[in-house]
Amino acid sequence: MQPAEIQSLLESSIDDAQVQVTTDDGRHIAIVVISPAFEGLTPVKKQQLVYSVLNDAISSGDVHAVQMKTFTPAQWAAQNT
């Protein structure tokens, strides 16, 4: 999958998400997802939410490996201050 496809998929599936996607070869991706949908979720629950969106792409082999960072808007703002 192309980075733009993954970004579009995540942004359309997770409320008010802002997504950054980088890839080496199209199958190994690194993503940053910022969304208010992560409020009150543990880090594992945040990852599970993202993986639930990517599950079909992972199962089909279109995406092999995912490295992700997830933030609420407040966490993102605090990190980038």
What pLDDT tens digit does each residue of the chain (81 aa) get? 789 999 999 999 999 999 999 987 767 899 999 999 999 999 999 999 999 999 999 999 888 889 999 999 999 999 987
Give the integer Cα–Cα distance in Å for 22 and 41.
25
Contact by Cβ (8 Å): 23, 7: no
Task: Give all strands of the β-sheet with 28-34 in edge-to-edge order.
Answer: 18-23, 28-34, 65-71
Strands (E) located in the chain: 18-23, 28-34, 65-71
Report the interhelical angle of 43-60 vs 3-13 (nearest 10°): 130
Question: What's this model's pTM, rounded to 2 decimal places?
Answer: 0.91
Fold classification of 3-73 is GMP Synthetase; Chain A, domain 3 (3.30.300)
